[in-house]
Amino acid sequence: MVNILNQHRRTHRCASQFAALIGVLTFACLPAHAVTNVVLFIADDLGWNDVGYHGSEIRTPTIDRLAEEGVVLDRFYAHPVCSPTRSALMTGRSPLRTGVLIPFEPWFSTGLPLSEKLLPEYFKDAGYRTLAVGKWHLGPHHVLHHPQSRGFDHFYGHLGGFINHEMHTIWRGVDWQRNRSTVYEEGYATDLIADEAVRLVQEHDADVPLFLYVAFNAPHSPLQAPADAIAEYDDIGDFDRRIFAAMVTELDRGIARVLAALDAAGLSDDTLVMFMSDNGGEETLGADNGPFRDMKGTPWEGGIRVPALMWLPGVLEAGSRYGGRVAVEDLLPTFMAAAEIEAEWPQPLDGINLWPALTSGETVEDRTIALARHNHEQYSIAYFSGEWKLVQTPGETPDAPRYALFRILEDPSEQNDLAAEQPDVLQRLIGEVAALPRGPVVGMDDPPIPTATGLGGPMSIPPDRRPPNREPWAESARTD
């Protein structure tokens, strides 16, 4: 029945594209896809031990079901902070190449370089409807850096890295829009994001392939959740952890609603679903990255090794685990291979196609991976090569970073630094890191965040409840 439905969709799609061909000469009949639709869910600052299937006390029944019915990516790596991860996802290229190594702030004059071709652009070229809901964080200042200028047909959500989840403000400006027009509405952001995604699925023409990007801002601070959701976790003594847990469960419920809409629309059978976090959790704000070391913003495992899974019954083996190393850069070529979209890369990719490994167990050749960020002064880098992980962290001067070395498969908690015992390995990996292609760091000429922990800042636990007093971010963006 599924194959018949897919054939009907492809036949109808080709007929529609033939009609369009007469007028604009832009479409070609799509190949028979193993995957017709792709839906990507992203959580924001979710730690390793913040999902039920990793043993957390936080209840995530929907995410757990996807894990039980799909494949868990047991060694999935993001970058230490959000904009680098999102740029790597969208380009398939290392932030070291693109220069996106600093989180974009609302006052930044730039964004993800316009020379980069993005994931939704590849899908759009292949005839897909491309929809984005939630957090963008790849450039707020100019409309050319906004989602609809980078391949998305529709965008609803916020441009910046965080918001007040109830007032939809950042730095006292409203950052909540639908297609470049600010939306003033009440509601908890997680619920509104799910509402929009459900509506888009319900209105979607099933004969047109779909790429849906649902980027929740939860559980990023400030810590806010509905009172009844918080009350469900009265058994958690730590108040911050209690709110954080409620935020994660509300996110899980939002995902459940979107999946139910896909099922009701008859789209589930040929839709690849992925769930991931954009970096490790911020443990000072309620997250838990155990058993890994440290947290968001760092190149230690707690900052970069995150929950991730893929779900496609009948194609991906239910209840399986993929133990190979996966980087967020791999998603672009993997998604395109799953959808059988062929394209030429305008620039070299750092990600690789893992679809054959995930579906048929093909062996993937070992390759190096670098996860990185910049703090306006120095780099933080995690570099993987074979059994080794090199950790570079800021030193007293930019010319003297600190290094640590681990056999990461044997020591995933990074307790046994082997730098002194393995000087030859250490120097070899330091040399390889130094030789990595690097572009200029985007945003270096822009000022750093004024206060990370002050009222309204991204590391603030209490939300800023002052009314907005600045022009809305959507309307304040440059168009010249």
C-alpha count within 13 angstroms, C-beta hemisphere, residue 142: 12
Whose structure tokens read 């995150």? 306
Banded pLDDT at 30 (limits 50, 70, 90)? very low
Map 135-175 to HEC letters: ECCCCCCEHHHCHHHCCCCEEEEECCCCCCCCCCEECCEEC
Q: Which residues on neighbouring strands pair with residue 372, listed in sequence order?
A: 381
Known active-site residue 137: yes
With 0-12 / 13-18 / 19 or more C-beta atoms within 10 angstroms meaning exposed / middle / buried, residue 319 is: exposed
Q: Which of 33, 54, 79, 137 is catalytic?
A: 137
To the nearest whole percent, how much of the chain has pLDDT over 90?
Answer: 85
Over residues 129-159, the pLDDT tens digits come to 999 999 999 999 899 999 999 999 999 999 9
Contact 51, 39 (CB under 8 A): no
Q: What is the mean pLDDT of the chain?
A: 92
Res 106: pLDDT: 85
If one compares 6 and 259, the residue with the highest pLDDT of the two is 259
- Work out the average pLDDT over 437-453: 89
What 8-state DSSP symbol labels residue 421?
T
- Work out the average pLDDT over 81-93: 98
**SS3 state at 338:** helix
Banded pLDDT at 107 (limits 50, 70, 90)? confident
352 membership: H or E segment, kind and range: none
Contact 257, 21 (CB under 8 A): no
Say which CATH superfamily domain 35-367 falls into. Alkaline Phosphatase, subunit A (3.40.720.10)
CA dist 284 and 223 (Å) reads: 11
Banded pLDDT at 17 (limits 50, 70, 90)? very low
Res 472: pLDDT: 95
Res 11: pLDDT: 37
Over residues 271-290, the pLDDT tens digits come to 999 999 999 999 999 999 99
Q: How far out from the chain centre does Cα 427 lie?
A: 33
- Work out the average pLDDT over 414-442: 97
Could you give the residue range(s) of every CATH 3.30.1120.10 domain in the chain?
369-434
Contact 370, 97 (CB under 8 A): no
Over residues 384-404, the pLDDT tens digits come to 999 999 999 999 998 899 999
Is residue 24 predicted with pLDDT exceeding 80?
Answer: no
Contact 25, 197 (CB under 8 A): no
Over residues 338-364, the pLDDT tens digits come to 999 999 999 999 999 999 999 998 988
Res 451: pLDDT: 81
pTM: 0.92
Contact 191, 216 (CB under 8 A): no
- Work out the average pLDDT over 232-248: 98
Could you give the residue range(s) of every CATH 3.40.720.10 domain in the chain?
35-367
Banded pLDDT at 34 (limits 50, 70, 90)? low
Contact 382, 389 (CB under 8 A): yes
Banded pLDDT at 19 (limits 50, 70, 90)? very low
Is residue 28 predicted with pLDDT exceeding 50?
Answer: no
Residue 23: which residues within 8 A CB-CB, separation 6 or more?
none
CA dist 403 and 20 (Å) reads: 57
Res 366: pLDDT: 83
Is residue 15 predicted with pLDDT exceeding 70?
Answer: no
Amino acid in position 319: G
Res 449: pLDDT: 83
Is residue 470 predicted with pLDDT exceeding 80?
Answer: yes
Is residue 7 predicted with pLDDT exceeding 90?
Answer: no
Banded pLDDT at 12 (limits 50, 70, 90)? very low
3-state helix, strand, coil in the chain (%, to 5): 30, 20, 50
Res 272: pLDDT: 98
Res 453: pLDDT: 84
What 8-state DSSP symbol labels residue 366?
P
CATH number attached to the domain at 369-434: 3.30.1120.10
Name the nearest CA neighbour of 335 among 63, 103, 38, 71: 38
Over residues 210-234, the pLDDT tens digits come to 999 999 999 999 999 999 999 999 9
Q: Which of 79, 82, 146, 204 is catalytic?
A: 82
Contact 265, 257 (CB under 8 A): no
Alpha carbon distance, N-terminus to C-terminus of the chain = 52
Quickly count: other Cβ atoms within 10 Å of residue 396's Cβ.
Answer: 9
Over residues 371-384, the pLDDT tens digits come to 999 998 899 999 99
Known active-site residue 29: no
* Dihedral angle computed from the Cα positions of residues 151, 155, 158 and 162, in that order, rounded to the nearest 10 degrees: -60
